[in-house]
């Protein structure tokens, strides 16, 4: 709790140390979203240094050559040979961090393919759009720092996607999680970590919209949404994309400050080397619970989720018995979940994605959007 409002914290272990991210709870357009709030802020000199171009291009070696993810995504992502500005360096930092996480997730879930299938790579033009977004985010955080965000309660209207939907500017996102989405033709496809999307919905300021149209700028191929596809993304998922960008930019700015003047990077002026100052919200947050308590809570939540899913499946009616001479059960587009369950029986499992649900049967998957069948596989 801070200033009478509830916030959430996630704790991460990264490069041998813990750090914490903080999130608000904000009611916008009829749904709750969780905007990211920085745990610390830099001085104006450092924000100015990472916002503006460097005096001369910098050659920087990332050291990824031996990492499996770098070879795997070689056809999708190419780092800049030199860096004319910190925003370009941060762009490659964001993309590389996202792709490394995507690769690790595939390894852990054993869903990795032998190679990428027809990727639509991150072109220099797309990467420049991401770099422009990075500069917008740096300017926003600098503005928040100067307006007293270090010692005051964060402004949700500024830090959330509300600003992005009403400022009249173009915005680009690098996905930070895997998403199942639907394009304008009603076809289901997926977005995964490291994909780039462009907010193009001209009606985005409409206060009744709870999902927005984004155009895919780059994708890793296969079952992913192809480049140029327009997909619908919910407000909460859009906020998560924005959070991922800001979180990773903050991590990158911290690493850039630590590495300035080394490895080919230009040295920052003395005024830009001051360490960040923790926000009042972070300073007032209680210490995180012991890891043993966190593990126990996660197990309890997983158990409760399994029980809730079983209860949802048990509520589905059994299929109507059909004689050998009768017509086989039929499932068609536009049917309701009840009609599908009456024809096919209880599914093996249900994937609940909010407005979209997927009933999984031994030999097919039935996708519902808005309570109606939109796809059968």
Question: Do 371 and 352 form a contact (C-beta atoms < 8 A)?
Answer: no
Model confidence pLDDT, tens digit, residues 183-213: 888 889 999 999 999 998 778 889 999 999 9
Tens digit of pLDDT for each residue in 6-53? 888 888 776 677 778 999 999 999 999 999 999 999 999 999 999 999
Residue 280 sits in the same domain as residue 325: no
CB 357 within 8 A of CB 371: no
Specify if 3 maps to a domain: no
Range from 131-135, 259-263, 291-295 carrying the lowest mean pLDDT: 291-295
Residues 40 and 123 in one domain: yes
Number of H-type helices and E-type strands within the chain: 10, 17
Q: So what's the pLDDT on residue 67? A: 93
For residues 61 and 198, state if they share a domain: yes
Q: Do both 198 and 329 map to the same domain?
A: no
Paired sense of beta strands 17-23 and 36-37, if any: antiparallel
Q: 344, 336 in Cβ contact below 8 A?
A: no
Do 298 and 269 lie in a common domain? no
Q: Which of 284, 310, 326 is the endpoint of a domain? A: 284
Tell whether 79 is covered by a domain: yes
* Overall average pLDDT of the 303-319 stretch: 71
Between CA 187 and CA 374 the distance in angstroms is 8
Pair (264, 296) in one structural domain: no
Q: Are residues 265 and 338 in the same domain?
A: no
Per-residue pLDDT band for 308 (boundaries 50, 70, 90) equals: confident
- Output the average pLDDT for the chain: 88
Where does residue 66 rank: exposed (0-12), middle (13-18), buried (19+ CB within 10 A)?
Answer: exposed
Highest mean pLDDT out of 214-228, 272-286, 313-327:
214-228
Q: Please indicate, yes or no, if residue 139 is contained in any of the structural domains.
A: yes
Same domain, 199 and 330: no
Kindly state whether residue 59 falls inside one of the protein's structural domains: yes
Q: What mean pLDDT comes out for the span 61-80?
A: 94
Residue 41: how many CA atoms within 13 Å on its side-chain side? 24
| Domain co-membership, 83 together with 187 | yes
3-state secondary structure of 2: strand
Containing domain of residue 168, as a range? 8-284
20 domain residue, yes or no: yes
User: What is the percent of the chain with per-residue pLDDT over 90, rounded to a whole number?
Assistant: 54
Residues 70, 64 contacting (CB under 8 angstroms)? yes
More confident residue, 305 or 84: 84
pLDDT bucket at 320, cuts 50 / 70 / 90: low
Q: How many domains does the chain have?
A: 2
Residue range 285-304: average pLDDT?
A: 77
Domain end residue (candidates: 256, 284, 312): 284
Measured between alpha carbons, how far is 341 from 331 in angstroms, rounded to an integer? 9
Asked if the structure places residue 1 within a domain, the reply is no
Task: Tell whether 249 is covered by a domain.
Answer: yes
pLDDT at 319 over 60: no
CB of 2 within 8 A of CB of 285?
yes
Of 254, 284, 314, the residue at which a domain comes to its end is 284
CA distance 62 to 91: 13
What is residue 15's predicted lDDT score, i.e. its pLDDT?
67
pLDDT at 321 (0 to 100):
53
What lies within 8 Å, CB to CB, of 201 at 6+ separation is 209, 212, 213, 214
Give Cα 197 to chain centroid, integer Å: 11
Q: Cβ distance 253 to 50 under 8 Å? A: yes
Q: What is d(CA 238, CA 227) in angstroms, rounded to the nearest whole number?
A: 18
266: in domain = yes
**Cβ-based neighbour number of residue 65 at 10 Å:** 8
Is residue 84 left, alpha or beta, with left meaning phi > 0 and alpha meaning psi from -120 to 50?
alpha
Summarised one tens digit per residue, pLDDT across range 342-377 is 889 888 878 777 677 888 887 888 988 878 888 888
What distance, in Å, lies between the first and last C-alpha atoms of the chain?
A: 46
Domain shared by 174 and 313, yes or no:
no
Helix 86-109 with 235-259: angle, nearest 10 deg: 120
Q: Are residues 348 and 280 in the same domain?
A: no
What DSSP assignment string belongs to 263-320?
TTPPPPPGGG-SPPEE-HHHHHSPPPPPHHHHHHHHHHHHHHHHHHHHHHHHTSPPPP
**What per-residue confidence (pLDDT) applies to 375?**
84
Specify whether 172 is located in the same domain as 311: no
What tens digit of pLDDT does each residue of 93-117 get?
Answer: 999 999 999 999 888 887 777 778 8
Tell which residue, 245, 22, 258, 42, has the closest CA to residue 143: 42
């Amino acid at each position: 709790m801070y200033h009478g409002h509830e916030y959430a914290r996630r704790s991460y272990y990264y490069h041998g140390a813990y750090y914490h991210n903080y999130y608000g709870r904000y009611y916008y357009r009829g749904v709750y979203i969780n905007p990211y709030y920085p745990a610390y802020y830099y001085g104006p000199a450092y924000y100015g240094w990472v916002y503006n171009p460097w005096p001369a291009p910098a050659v920087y070696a990332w050291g990824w050559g031996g990492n499996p993810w770098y070879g795997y995504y070689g056809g999708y992502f190419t780092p800049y040979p030199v860096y004319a500005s910190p925003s370009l360096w941060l762009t490659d930092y964001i993309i590389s961090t996202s792709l490394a996480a995507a690769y690790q997730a595939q390894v852990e879930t054993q869903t990795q393919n032998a190679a990428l299938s027809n990727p639509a790579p991150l072109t220099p033009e797309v990467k420049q759009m991401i770099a422009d977004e990075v500069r917008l985010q740096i300017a926003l955080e600098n503005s928040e720092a100067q307006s007293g965000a270090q010692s005051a309660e964060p402004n949700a209207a500024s830090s959330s996607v509300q600003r992005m939907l009403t400022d009249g500017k173009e915005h680009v996102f690098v996905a930070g999680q895997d998403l199942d989405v639907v394009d304008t033709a009603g076809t289901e496809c997926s977005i995964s970590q490291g994909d780039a999307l462009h907010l193009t919905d001209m009606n985005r300021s409409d206060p009744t919209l709870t999902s927005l149209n984004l155009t895919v700028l780059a994708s890793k191929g296969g079952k992913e949404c192809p480049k140029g596809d327009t997909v619908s993304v919910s407000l909460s998922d859009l906020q998560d994309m924005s959070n991922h960008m800001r979180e990773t930019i903050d991590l990158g700015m911290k690493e850039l400050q630590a590495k300035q003047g080394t490895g080919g990077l230009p040295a920052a002026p003395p005024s830009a080397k001051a360490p960040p100052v923790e926000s009042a919200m972070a300073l007032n947050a209680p210490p995180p619970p012991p890891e043993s308590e966190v593990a126990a809570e996660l197990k309890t939540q997983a158990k409760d989720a399994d029980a809730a899913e079983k209860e949802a499946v048990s509520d589905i009616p059994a299929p109507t018995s059909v004689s050998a001479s009768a017509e086989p059960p039929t499932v068609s587009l536009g049917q309701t979940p009840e009609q599908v369950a009456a024809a096919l029986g209880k599914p093996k499992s249900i994937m609940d994605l909010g407005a979209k649900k997927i009933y999984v049967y031994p030999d097919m998957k039935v996708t519902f959007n808005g309570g109606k069948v939109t796809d059968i596989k």
